[in-house]
Amino acid sequence: MDRATIQLAAFGRRAIPALRTLLFERDPSGVFGPRCGAVWALASLHAFEVLMEFLATSREIVDPVERVGEEAVINAAARRLRDFDDERVFPLLLAIAERRLLPGVIETLGRCRRSETISLLIAGLADDDARPAAAAALLKLGDRARPALLRAAVLAVPSSGVEITSSRRRRRSALGLLRAMGVGQDDWPILQPLTDDLDSRIAMLACDIGLGLGMAGDEAVHRLVSMLSTADLLLSLQLEDCLVRHYGVARRVVNSLIVDNGLSTDGSGERRAFLHRVISRGEHGLDPTRPAAS
């Protein structure tokens, strides 16, 4: 925060008009530090009405550089409204989120724990910037969010052909949240087809959930091992952790694969080493410490 903003705030509420002017002053260069400083100062002076007025102001910004700066200020203002207990905050932020999924807006909406936000939060899972805040908010909603997460996990866009990247991100995140929340055996028929999903990370998460429920057995273990042939380094580590997590179920299949004649094909050395690591960690009770993909 720049020194001028701190000095200005030291004047107390007399500084509010000047801080308001600074906050509303658009910067085509995209520099947002001073204006975010004004947000901090206004919040510290409890001038939340000014922040509400700023967020309620309609703005159409075409230039991408200026838009990045403007969104940074909007995020800052939205985050500071978490300290303002006013019934007008929720509908204002909800209206903003319906136009643009900004992380600061999502964070403050998430603190409200309102069911009306679920569809927006699900949409936020597909956005790299909004995803962490959306995921945290959905976790707080718990059981109320589960039906929507189940639908999100299985809904690929488009429904046929090559799935778009944002759809895969949303489905991965939804599955990761379902695993964290816990799902019931009644939910497994909805998720079971995902064990054969074309996206390896989605398939891995579905197998992980099924094994944890005791609803997926040898077939899921074989599926996890088969993914190794096309896995990158991160996914291979996550596959290993998944098998170690469920080693009690996977032990027999993993041991049988060690001596399987099919392991003499190309790439068998890597797979054999992978299986030996799973056995070593599983037999010695080495719990996975690396998080699985979501």
Task: Quickly list DSSP for 56-102.
Answer: HS------HHHHHHHHHHHHHHHHHGGG---TTHHHHHHHHHHH---
Q: What is the pLDDT of residue 4?
A: 65
The CA distance from 188 to 171, in Å, is 16
Amino acid at 143: D
Q: Are 29 and 65 in contact (CB under 8 A)?
A: yes
What global pTM score does this model have? Answer: 0.84
The CA distance from 259 to 8, in Å, is 74
Helix, strand or coil, per DSSP, at residue 46? coil
Q: Is 260 left (phi over 0), alpha (psi -120 to 50) or beta?
A: beta
What residues does each domain of the chain span?
195-294
The CA distance from 177 to 199, in Å, is 17
- Cβ contacts of 213 within 8 Å, gap of 6 or more: 183, 184, 185, 188
Q: What is the pLDDT of residue 260?
A: 67
**Which value, in Å, is the radius of gyration of the alpha carbons in the chain?**
24
First to last CA, the chain: 35
Amino acid at 219: E
The CA distance from 249 to 244, in Å, is 10
Q: What is the pLDDT of residue 207?
A: 97
Q: What is the pLDDT of residue 286?
A: 64
Burial of 191 (0-12, 13-18, 19+ CB in 10 A): buried
Over the chain (294 residues), what is each successive 10-residue block's mean pLDDT?
A: 67 87 90 92 94 91 91 96 93 94 95 93 94 95 95 92 94 97 94 96 97 93 94 95 95 86 57 91 72 46
